[in-house]
Structure 1
Amino acid sequence: MLKLALFFLVVSLIAGIFGFTGISAVSAGMAKILFFIAILAFVIVLLLVILSARSLFN
């Protein structure tokens, strides 16, 4: 998912260089959304791993 966010970021930068500000804004927004979804998924998985490891050692 982070690769897709990076792709949208690159598309946004390239579109901004060539003057396509609408495409650049949409791509930057998508990159931002995907980045935060990836961070949220990471935190959820991290919490699940910590909780399952804690139950294994009890």
Structure 2
Amino acid sequence: MTTPDERTRALQQARDLLIELAYGNRQLVRRALRDEAVTILRHFPYSEALPPANRER
């Protein structure tokens, strides 16, 4: 079971990964990138677990 702390950490790590992809070293190794994504997704919240965004329906 994923704890709230693990979910928060996964969101922070995902942000860090996106920053690295956008501005970091362009010589990323595909395997390392895939491994990092799997690690982050292990505790990443499903969309149903997130509070609704402010948007009109």
Fold shared by both chains (TM-score > 0.5)? no
Greater share of helix = 1
TM-score, structure 1 normalization: 0.43
Q: Bigger radius of gyration, 1 or 2?
A: 1
TM-score, structure 2 normalization: 0.43
